[in-house]
């Protein structure tokens, strides 16, 4: 028999399956589970318990990682409903979104070479963040219904957020070089 | 000694004895051993009151190697046989060592498995064996001071050590005859020493600049949980580099060619270090170089010149500091305390720079040389089981991303840097040729996109895939990182179930055969009987397992087992207890396996109980 590592991440953390969650509560649950299962707690336990402790802690860590960020949480919720976001293979995107992305990329290039580089990068970071926030909100409501149209919209939002996240990271990295 | 107490036949788990466990800081320049005694953690001095053991080993023809101060004293007169800063060579290949180049005055010879060996008057030695000498010396010191055999040790490593460097450190512990309870990251150890001391809460930055490595870690302390948020650093940056910069300057001033004169280079290094120490207080330091022809150059190094030499080195710590803040998702403003660790943070220039980066005055009230060993001792005490009720828990991370090579020499990352360990992750790959029956898997570590820019950890092959059309074979590669930060990888073809798994033996590590041989050699060296040692090790293992099962039965045997199930486990317990007092190593091993099998179901039930208990208690306590 296996211990209950086959639970989904929400069940593992004793939470209802859903997009909206309190991240402070999640972190507190994470620490409580770690206190119970971390391999340090089993240093003098039986070998089967030590193996299970390793297995469960790995699961807890991956679960926390997945649930704490809205993007990975949304992607995971879609996967639980059998919807794959295919970021690697499916490159079709909404044309309006692509235009917006191209404009943001152009601003990034200009900011990179601009005399007010720091200022412009900061402004761009704020814009990207606002776009991400708006989509995070929309993702919550799209997932809430669970209807096919909501899921389709949620999939699109997750894919767009992936783009924006990448852009945000590049802006940060450029900011650090100064 | 203490271990035998629990193995007395018929005696149940005795919770009141103390297992001897130590923390060891295996440093580039100095090493220390610490232990918790009567609730207080402190470093252990040698017979002459010295806490720091210089990490220097001198090999002599026909006698035992010298370790520590005696070895250090001979460094300048006997540079080729006196190995210092060996930590910089741990887990490195010949190519890396060549890149360190003129910095190291030793002669290298290639080893059996890509690991370089250092040529000395007493033969060829790998960095792992040199480190094992240092550990052996600390083990002897601890056993003499504490009056008994050690149960185990926690050895610290720079947080930024990669898998090969960690594996090499663990191998060194094994060679020294230590049971390595855990490899612990140095900054995390320092945080434990500070955090427990001050009962602190909040976010800590640990700036650790030692002799050869730089680490910067961000930790959150919350009710005894030390959670590493992110770590960054440079595993080849430290005070050594400053010594070299100063020595090179001195030799240049004197017009001496460095590579032509290993003795002179070693003397210059010693004098450079002395000048560096002096310039922490003084405005200038007198320096001199004896040229190969015997003539002498004398000069002065002013603080201004000194700073010009070391500033570029100190500056290299700034980029990792910025990156670690970003990875932790915080700004310098969120940090409650900055802690300085490592001998190089005694330099005023380093303190100024660290203060500037984080915008606050750093803490230095625990001796930066000793704080890491003290933290490691606290963790060793817990892992040895001396504090079963302790609330402290360390959640550490993996410092560098892990991935595998895909087409075109690119890296597919499987586990991202700064993921909390232990962690397991699986990824599926497909066959790319019709009828493909084997797949080579190349494991790399690093942040770059090209394999050539990352560190190669291991290669292995999955064979026996049934022939299928391209793309039909699905290979699932699973990476598992344990609490020491060490990696094992397994691969399985999903349609046929063909499996292959390896504990990653790093490309620049020792093979198991080499370790076995070295162990045998060192045992022969200590005039110890191999069979007797094997038996004793197996008995210690049996005692550990017996104690663990007895205590699990005492806790949950009634609640979670039927009387028949309980009898089944008790039978295996009794059997192992009697085998343990025999002399047949193989039968004791079988007895341990049988007890393992008999307790699997029980273990799973206890774990499931644990999930309910963890969250139930949690809701009551914190959410009313």
**Contact assignment for A46 to B604 by CB distance below 8 Å:** no
Distance from CA of B512 to the nearest CA of A (A): 23
Name the token pair of B621: 């306590």
**Contact assignment for B422 to A61 by CB distance below 8 Å:** yes
Across B133-161, b (16+ Cβ under 10 Å) vs e yields bbbbbbbebbeebbeebbbbbbbbbbbbb
Report, as an integer, the average pLDDT of A153-174. 89
For B545, which residue in chain A has the nearest alpha carbon?
A: A46
Distance from CA of B225 to the nearest CA of A (A): 7
Closest CA to B410 of B439, B373, B444, B379: B444
The fold for domain B187-237+317-375 equals: Nucleotidyltransferase; domain 5 (3.30.420)
Quote the strand ranges of A126-176, DSSP E: none
Chain A positions with Cβ closer than 8 Å to B: 1-4, 12-14, 25, 28-29, 31-41, 43-49, 52-59, 61-62, 64-65, 172, 176
Name the token pair of B330: 């915080």
Of A1, A52, A61, the CB nearest to B423: A61
Closest CA to B429 of B417, B443, B412: B412
Closest CA to B204 of B42, B392, B340, B371: B340
Q: Are B345 and B368 in contact (CB under 8 A)?
A: yes
Q: How many of the other CB atoms lie within 10 Å of CB of A137?
A: 12
What is d(CA A152, CA A86) in angstroms, rounded to the nearest whole number?
Answer: 13
Q: Are B418 and B223 in contact (CB under 8 A)?
A: no
Of B425, B600, B606, the CB nearest to A62: B425
Q: Are B206 and B339 in contact (CB under 8 A)?
A: yes
Report, as an integer, the average pLDDT of A98-103. 86
What is d(CA B21, CA B178) in angstroms, rounded to the nearest whole number?
Answer: 10
For A30, which residue in chain B has the nearest alpha carbon?
A: B615
Element holding B498 (H helix, E strand): none
Say whether pLDDT at A17 is over 80.
yes
B232 to B155, B203, B312, B349: CA distances (angstroms): 20, 16, 19, 21
**Contact assignment for B608 to A13 by CB distance below 8 Å:** no
For chains A and B, what is the number of CB pairs under 8 angstroms? 129
Q: Which CATH class is domain B529-611?
A: mainly alpha
What is d(CA B539, CA B299) in angstroms, rounded to the nearest whole number?
Answer: 63
Sequence spans of domains, chain B: 2-186+376-383, 187-237+317-375, 239-314, 402-512, 529-611
B319 touches chain A (CB under 8 A): yes
What is d(CA B218, CA B228) in angstroms, rounded to the nearest whole number?
Answer: 6
Q: In B, residues 212-241, which contact A (CB 8 Å cutoff)?
A: 222-223, 225, 227
**Contact assignment for A46 to B425 by CB distance below 8 Å:** no
pLDDT value for B320: 93
**Contact assignment for B419 to A65 by CB distance below 8 Å:** yes
B186 flagged as catalytic = yes
Of B227, B383, B545, the CB nearest to A47: B545
What is d(CA B273, CA B254) in angstroms, rounded to the nearest whole number?
Answer: 17
Give the SS3 label for residue B418.
coil
**Pick from A154-163, A166-175, B3-12, B141-150: least confident:** B3-12
Which domains does chain A show, CATH number per domain?
A: 9-68 (1.10.287.110), 95-177 (1.20.1280.20)
For B481, which residue in chain A has the nearest alpha carbon?
A: A58
B25, B163, B215, B271: the catalytic one is B25
- A45-62 pLDDT, tens per residue? 888 999 999 999 999 999
B611 touches chain A (CB under 8 A): yes
Domain boundaries B2-186+376-383, corresponding CATH code: 3.30.420.40
Q: Does domain B402-512 have CATH number 2.60.34.10?
A: yes
Q: Is the four-CA dihedral B580, B139, B93, B210 of positive or negative sign?
A: positive
How many Cα atoms occupy the beta-carbon half-sphere of B489 within 13 Å? Answer: 26
Q: HEC string of B236-292?
A: CCCHHHHHHHHHHHHHHHHCCCHHHCHHHHHHHHHHHHHHHHHCCCCCEEEEEEECC
**Contact assignment for B610 to A37 by CB distance below 8 Å:** yes
How do strand B296-302 and strand B337-341 relate by DSSP bridges? unpaired
Q: In what order do the strands lie in the sheet with B487-493?
A: B423-430, B474-481, B487-493, B499-503
**Contact assignment for A176 to B323 by CB distance below 8 Å:** yes
Same CATH topology for B187-237+317-375 and B529-611: the answer is no
B186, B271, B405, B514: the catalytic one is B186
B87 flagged as catalytic = yes
A90: pLDDT confidence band, cut at 50, 70 and 90? confident
Instruction: Give B421's contacts in chain A (Cβ within 8 Å).
Output: 61
Cα-based angle B110, B113, B115 (whole degrees, multiple of 5): 50
Distance from CA of A12 to the nearest CA of B (A): 8
B263 touches chain A (CB under 8 A): no
B25 flagged as catalytic = yes
What is the residue whose two structure tokens read 């999640």? A26
**Contact assignment for B181 to A43 by CB distance below 8 Å:** yes
Backbone angles phi, psi at B578, to 5 degrees: -75, -35
Closest CA to B377 of B53, B33, B45: B33
B46, B87, B162, B240: the catalytic one is B87
**Contact assignment for A172 to B552 by CB distance below 8 Å:** no
Pick B239-314's CATH classification: 3.90.640.10, 3.90.870.10, 3.40.640.10, 3.40.30.10.
Answer: 3.90.640.10
Do you know the residue count of chain B? 624
ipTM: 0.84
Neighbour-count burial of B387, counting CB atoms closer than 10 A to its CB (0-12 exposed, 13-18 middle, 19+ buried):
middle
**Contact assignment for A61 to B548 by CB distance below 8 Å:** no
A94: pLDDT confidence band, cut at 50, 70 and 90? confident
B46, B208, B234, B572: the catalytic one is B208
Q: Which residues of chain B have pLDDT under 50?
A: 1-16, 620-624
């Amino acid at each position: 028999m296996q211990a209950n590592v086959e639970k989904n991440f929400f069940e593992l953390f004793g939470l209802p399956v859903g997009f909206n969650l309190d991240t402070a509560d999640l972190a507190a649950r994470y620490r409580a589970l770690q206190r119970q299962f971390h391999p340090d707690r089993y240093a003098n336990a039986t070998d089967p318990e030590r193996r299970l402790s390793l297995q469960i802690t790995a699961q807890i860590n991956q679960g926390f990682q997945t649930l704490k960020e809205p993007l990975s949480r949304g992607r995971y919720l879609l996967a639980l409903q059998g919807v794959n976001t295919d970021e690697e293979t499916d490159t079709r995107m909404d044309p309006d979104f692509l235009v917006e992305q191209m404009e943001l990329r152009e601003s990034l290039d200009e900011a990179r070479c601009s005399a007010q580089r720091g200022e412009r990068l900061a402004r761009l970071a704020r814009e990207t963040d606002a776009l991400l926030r708006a989509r995070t909100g929309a993702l919550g409501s799209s997932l809430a219904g669970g209807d096919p149209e909501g899921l389709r919209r949620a999939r699109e939002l997750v894919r767009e957020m992936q783009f924006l996240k990448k852009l945000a990271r590049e802006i940060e990295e450029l900011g650090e070089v100064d | 000694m203490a271990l035998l107490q629990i193995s007395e036949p018929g005696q149940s788990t005795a919770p009141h004895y103390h297992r001897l466990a130590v923390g060891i800081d295996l440093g580039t320049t100095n090493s220390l051993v610490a232990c918790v005694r009567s609730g207080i953690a402190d470093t252990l001095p040698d017979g002459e009151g010295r806490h720091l053991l210089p990490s220097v080993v001198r090999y002599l023809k026909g006698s035992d190697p010298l370790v520590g101060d005696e070895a250090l004293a001979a460094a300048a007169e006997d540079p080729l046989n006196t190995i210092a800063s060996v930590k910089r060579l741990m887990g490195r290949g010949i190519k890396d060592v060549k890149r360190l180049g003129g910095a190291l005055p030793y002669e290298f010879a290639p080893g059996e498995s890509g690991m370089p060996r250092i040529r000395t008057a007493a033969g060829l030695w790998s960095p792992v064996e040199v480190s094992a000498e240092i550990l052996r010396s600390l083990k002897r010191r601890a056993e003499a001071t504490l009056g008994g055999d050690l149960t185990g040790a926690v050895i610290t490593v720079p947080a930024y050590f990669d898998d090969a460097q960690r594996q090499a450190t663990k191998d060194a512990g094994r060679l020294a005859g230590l049971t390595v309870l855990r490899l612990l990251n140095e900054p995390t150890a320092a945080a434990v020493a500070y955090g427990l001391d001050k009962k602190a809460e909040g976010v800590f930055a640990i700036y650790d600049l030692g002799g050869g490595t730089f680490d910067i870690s961000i930790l959150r302390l919350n009710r005894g949980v030390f959670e590493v948020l992110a770590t960054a650093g440079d595993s080849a940056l430290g005070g050594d580099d400053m010594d070299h910069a100063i020595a090179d300057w001195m030799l240049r001033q004197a017009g001496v060619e460095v590579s032509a004169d290993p003795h002179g280079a070693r003397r210059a290094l010693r004098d450079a270090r002395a000048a560096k120490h002096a310039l922490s207080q003084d405005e200038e330091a007198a320096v001199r170089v004896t040229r190969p022809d015997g003539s002498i150059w004398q000069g002065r190094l002013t603080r201004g010149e000194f700073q010009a030499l070391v500033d570029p080195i100190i500056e290299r710590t700034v980029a990792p500091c910025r990156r670690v803040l970003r990875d932790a998702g915080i700004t310098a403003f969120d940090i409650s305390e900055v802690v300085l660790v490592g001998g190089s943070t005694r330099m005023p220039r380093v303190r100024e720079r660290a203060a500037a980066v984080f915008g606050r005055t750093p803490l230095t009230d625990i001796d930066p040389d000793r704080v890491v060993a003290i933290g490691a001792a606290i963790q060793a005490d817990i892992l040895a089981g001396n504090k079963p009720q302790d609330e402290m828990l360390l959640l550490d991370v993996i410092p560098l991303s892990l991935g595998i090579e895909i087409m075109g020499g690119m890296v597919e990352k499987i586990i991202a840097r700064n993921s909390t360990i232990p962690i397991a992750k699986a990824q599926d790959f497909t066959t790319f040729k019709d009828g493909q029956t084997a797949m080579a898997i190349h494991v790399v570590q690093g942040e770059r996109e090209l394999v050539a820019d990352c560190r190669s950890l291991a290669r292995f092959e999955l064979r026996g895939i049934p022939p299928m059309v391209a793309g039909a074979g699905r290979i699932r590669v699973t990476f598992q990182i344990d609490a020491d930060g060490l990696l094992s990888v397994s691969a399985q073809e999903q349609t046929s179930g063909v499996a292959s798994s390896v504990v990653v033996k790093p490309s620049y590590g020792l093979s198991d055969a080499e370790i076995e041989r070295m162990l045998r050699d060192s045992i022969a060296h200590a005039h110890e009987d191999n069979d007797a040692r094997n038996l004793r090790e197996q008995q210690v293992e049996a005692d550990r397992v017996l104690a663990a099962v007895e205590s699990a039965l005492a806790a949950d045997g009634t609640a979670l087992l039927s009387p028949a199930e309980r009898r089944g486990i008790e039978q295996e317990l009794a059997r192992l207890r009697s085998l343990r007092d025999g002399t047949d190593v193989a039968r004791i091993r079988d007895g341990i396996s049988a007890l393992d099998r008999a307790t699997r179901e029980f273990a799973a039930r206890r774990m499931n109980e644990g999930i309910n208990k963890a969250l139930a208690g949690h809701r009551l306590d914190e959410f009313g």
